[in-house]
Amino acid sequence: MAKYNNAAAIKRADRQVFLDMVCSFRDQMMARFDKCAREGWCGWDGASAGDIKKFKTNLKERLLDNAKRGDWIDVANLAAMLWNLED
């Protein structure tokens, strides 16, 4: 068996594996968002200016709780919500 040493091909393969992983994770995030929206969870992007600090604190606490439980999809979704609320 010949040794595989084509660095460019390996980099392309590694990149594709990474992109596939990111797309799979994105799909799971979107499915969770959709499920929660269908269950009535909404308003994450509509906090009033006066409530935004409290709202962001609540999101951060929920993110940490989900991280402790190992629910990485919810961690990512909560991080996305926080990212969206940044100025």
Specify if 39 maps to a domain.
yes
* pLDDT value, residue 34: 94
Specify if 45 maps to a domain.
yes
Specify if 41 maps to a domain.
yes
Band of pLDDT at residue 55, cut at 50, 70 and 90: confident
Question: How far is C-alpha 67 from the chain's CA centre?
Answer: 12
How confident is the model over 65-84, as a mean pLDDT? 95
Q: Say whether pLDDT at 67 is over 70.
A: yes
Number of domains observed in the structure of the chain: 1
Specify if 28 maps to a domain.
yes
In order of 1, 25, 40, 42, 67, the CA distances from 62 in angstroms are 52, 20, 17, 15, 9
Residues in the chain: 87
Specify if 2 maps to a domain.
no
In order of 25, 27, 70, 79, the CA distances from 18 in angstroms are 11, 14, 21, 20
Percentage of residues in the chain with pLDDT exceeding 90? 49
Residues of the domain holding 39: 7-85
Specify if 71 maps to a domain.
yes
Single out the residue of 64, 41, 53 nearest to residue 87, CA to CA. 53
Residues 65 and 36: their CA atoms lie apart, in Å, by 17
Specify if 58 maps to a domain.
yes
Specify if 1 maps to a domain.
no
Q: Say whether pLDDT at 75 is over 90.
A: yes
